[in-house]
Amino acid sequence: MNLYSLYMKLFVFNAHASEMTLLERIKPPLDISTNGHLIDSLFNLTTMLITGFFILVCIGLFGFSYLYRKSRHPVALYVHGTARKHIAIVAAIAALVFMIIDMQITGISNHDYMQVFAKWPKEDADVVRVEVLGQQWAWNFRYPGKDGIFNTEDDIVTLNDLRLPVGKKIVFQVTAKDVIHSFYLPNTRLKLDAMPGRVSKMWVELTKPGVYDVACAQMCGTFHYRMQGKMTVYSQEDFDKWQNEMQNRTTFAMEKENADLYWGWKWLASK
Amino acid sequence: MAFFEQHIHDAPKTFLSKYVFSFDHKVIGKQFLWYGIAFLGLGGMMALMIRWTLAFPGEPFPIVGQFLFPQTNGVVPPDTYAMLFTLHGTIMIFYAITPILIGAFGNFCIPLLIGARDMVFPTLNMLSFWLAFVSAILLLASLFTPLGGAAGGWVSYPTLSTLIGSPGIGQTLWCLALFVLGVSSTMGAVNYIATIITLRAPGMGYFDMPLTIWGLWLTAILNALFLPVLGAGLLLLTFDRVFGTTFFLAGAAATSGSGDPLLFQHVFWIFGHPEVYILILPAWGVVSDLLSFFARKPAFGAKATALAMTTITILSTVVYGHHMYTTQMSPLLTQSFMMLTMTISIPSAVFFANWLGTLWKGSIRFHSPMLFALGVVFVFGLGGLTGLYLATVTTDLYLHDTYFVVGHFHYTMAASVLLGGFAATYFWFPKMFGRMMNEPLAKIHFWITMLGLNGVFMGMMVVGYAGMHRRIYNPFVYEFLQKLIPINMFITYSALLMGFGQLFFVYNFIYSLVKGPKASANPWEVGTLEWQIPSPAPHYNFDVIPVVKCGPHELGNPNLKNGRDFQYQTEELVEV
């Protein structure tokens, strides 16, 4: 019996002790985006590199502690580490760590960020546009409706209910009403701060239909933990169907006087 | 090097002048030590309540829960939970670690290790402690205000920390408490810098200072430069709260003109990133010295270590943007901050190599200070390396504000600094109080702490990678986090174990204070200046100001003829 199952048996109450291996438990949520794997693979690469380096540190730490303990090695070597040889070794270690670990992951991350995550779809591209407004403690979503223009009569507005299609780029513009929130989609590995007075943006393309969690990642008050939305991912047909359905329902709500409903803004063109 | 005569005044006679309003750096150091340990206990209790809530949501907190939260039958309520993690962070950083490592050991060690009779500004030193005391009263008072203490996270980002998110007076008191504490620390920092520059014993060049002093000196410089920045930010925040200004307000709440909440994040992290190094630098210094002392050989590349620490000090001022990747800065800034952050690896690797170089072919004694120092190397390795995930922007987009971050910074700021603080306590206890601490108890303390803290912080990183975000009262309202309940329980068990381990320390500390065996002048057989005077260190430390003739790490010289394997800093270096 391994330690994990022993622990599960002894310390965890039965209600939670479903059959699930440790590895299944600590896996990040299912990746449903086209680019989430970039983040996962960089994470794994970093893990490999630093584990390797940490093993070297441990070999030094535990190995030297064992080899050069007092009883085994009573007389220490009188050396200041200032010889040219010693300086060269230390410098080489520093340079190697920098080149092999840091520059490699920086290069990859930089490429992913500039070429993928911060490379916005073109203005005229066929994308789904969503405006997101965080407030204590809920997410408001706004779709432009049939006319494709925000803040008009035919907008679709939902609360904590984000519905998106697969296979199409989705661009969010995010802001907050009261305090800072952070729009967190664990299944796409992305998050973006929603700040009052500022519109920030994020794009994502989804691959797997289903229902997923939307969370707030920035402390936003007592019920921060309840600021939970659901993201329903549809196939394109289902998404169109849902949009048409919503279209027929929403028109009555769009009174200009009602700030709670009329909160949208003109879509900000990307530069 | 002394620029002026250091006079000796008569020892104070009354209780007040001797123990309360003392000018003596040793007494002030001890005052900070008690202060820090008391807050460490308080912050630790808060941590246990937080952990309990995360592992057993909806279960009453055992024993004290019924008294603290009678309305909810002992269950921690969500608003109190927010206050707990806010104050846990604030207390541990500003009221526990800072006083212990910088206040206590800074005050105690600096004059002793550089051969001075006291700090250069004793009155300022006393004021520094009593301002810290005022600040503690302000902070604790905030707990008893109608809406409770601050609850916006230790970073207290506006607009949550303005009246929109926290209407209670607790948040205002929190701002004021930290402002006053900032003034206190700045006073201390100015004093440390001036003392180290002017009062080094004759003959002691900068590279003849023990690395502990290097660490404390660099820390003091960062403190003096960047605490005022935090103070400015907090003052503006207080204006927003009290006088109705709008420096940090925007959006629907900014009815009269609009500021920018992001401005506060810039101000906060310009201070906040150096703060990380403010906390860790003294620990690095202590570890660098202790490894050499207990491996009985000179510190490997001591000069390089000192220069690497200096480099990090400088770099730490230009990397703060990596805390703000998710606020979406311009991509150019993001790239720059990522690149600059990465360069910190180079000096870090240098002193890791030097630490291992110090152990190499040593003759290692595993006394308790050494165990803790080795522990720092281990946990700081983990903490430093996991920082790489957060420095690269794309992985940070996922990991930002998750428990991975919490685990990472606890490894660096809590684990390394805590172990470094314990190493220093076990090491200098004889010189502080004239008695030895109990060795077996110290070792039990070390192993339980190591086991506990790795369980806690490794567990945090694991749940963070699985997507669990920070500062949530009940993570299990989210479906994708429900599978993490057993791991959260494991973290809590580890935290309880770690808390239990500290009882050994408290018992050992108090028992040794009263009944520990009397310490000799130099129980660890090392050559720095403080070990040449009796234990405990006498009034005004040195009868005659020592003259320094060699470096602090002269151990294991084969040509020593006097039966010792080390030489005092006041002795002429024996040539090989």
User: HEC states along B312-331?
Assistant: HHHHHHHCHHHHCHHHCCCH
Digit-coded pLDDT (tens) for B306-326: 999 999 999 999 999 999 999
The interface predicted TM-score of the complex, written ipTM, equals 0.93
**Residue B34: per-residue pLDDT:** 95
Contacting residues of B for A81, CB less than 8 Å apart:
298-302, 304, 354, 357-358
Residue B152 reports pLDDT greater than 80 = yes
Residue B120 reports pLDDT greater than 70 = yes
Q: Do B298 and A26 touch (CB under 8 A)?
A: no
Q: Distance between CA A74 and CA B159 in Å, rounded?
A: 62
Q: Do A109 and B327 touch (CB under 8 A)?
A: no
Chain A residue with minimum CA distance to B158: A179
Q: Do B357 and A81 touch (CB under 8 A)?
A: yes
**B66 phi and psi angles, rounded to 5 deg:** -60, -35
Quick one: residue B115, left, alpha or beta (phi over 0 = left, psi -120 to 50 = alpha)? left
Digit-coded pLDDT (tens) for B35-47: 999 999 999 999 9
Burial of A88 (0-12, 13-18, 19+ CB in 10 A): exposed
Q: How large is the average pLDDT for residues B397-411? A: 95
Residue B224 reports pLDDT greater than 50 = yes
Q: Is the Cα torsion angle B130, B135, B139, B145 positive or negative in sign? A: positive
A115 Cβ under 8 Å from any chain B Cβ:
no
Q: Do A80 and B363 touch (CB under 8 A)?
A: no
The residue assigned the tokens 């049939």 is A146
Contacting residues of A for B392, CB less than 8 Å apart:
42, 46, 105-106, 108-109
Indicate the average pLDDT of chain B.
Answer: 92
Digit-coded pLDDT (tens) for A232-266: 999 999 999 999 988 887 655 566 777 777 788 88
**Residue B181: per-residue pLDDT:** 96
B328 Cβ under 8 Å from any chain A Cβ:
yes
SS3 A229: strand
Secondary element (H or E) of residue B46? helix B25-55
Q: Do A114 and B335 touch (CB under 8 A)?
A: yes
A174 Cβ under 8 Å from any chain B Cβ:
no
pLDDT band at A7 (very low <50, low <70, confident <90, very high): confident
Identity of the residue in B252, B299, B346 whose CB atom sits nearest the CB atom of A98? B346
Digit-coded pLDDT (tens) for B485-498: 889 999 999 999 99
Contacting residues of B for A226, CB less than 8 Å apart:
477
Q: Do B362 and A68 touch (CB under 8 A)?
A: yes
Q: Do B470 and A28 touch (CB under 8 A)?
A: no
pLDDT band at B1 (very low <50, low <70, confident <90, very high): very low
> Whole-structure pTM over 0.90, yes or no?
yes
Provide the 8-state DSSP code for B556. Answer: -
Digit-coded pLDDT (tens) for A28-78: 999 999 999 999 999 999 999 999 999 999 999 999 999 999 999 999 999
Q: Do A197 and B250 touch (CB under 8 A)?
A: yes
**Residue A251: per-residue pLDDT:** 56
pLDDT band at A153 (very low <50, low <70, confident <90, very high): confident
Secondary element (H or E) of residue B240? helix B211-242
Identity of the residue in A61, A175, A215 whose CB atom sits nearest the CB atom of B356? A61
Residue B102 reports pLDDT greater than 90 = yes
Digit-coded pLDDT (tens) for B517-560: 999 999 999 999 999 999 899 988 998 899 999 999 999 888 88
Q: How large is the average pLDDT for residues B407-426? A: 94
Count Cβ atoms below 10 Å from residue B540 Cβ, excluding itself: 17
Contacting residues of B for A189, CB less than 8 Å apart:
397-398
Digit-coded pLDDT (tens) for B188-220: 999 999 999 999 999 999 999 999 999 999 999
**Residue A13: per-residue pLDDT:** 66
pLDDT band at A268 (very low <50, low <70, confident <90, very high): confident
Count Cβ atoms below 10 Å from residue B19 Cβ, excluding itself: 13
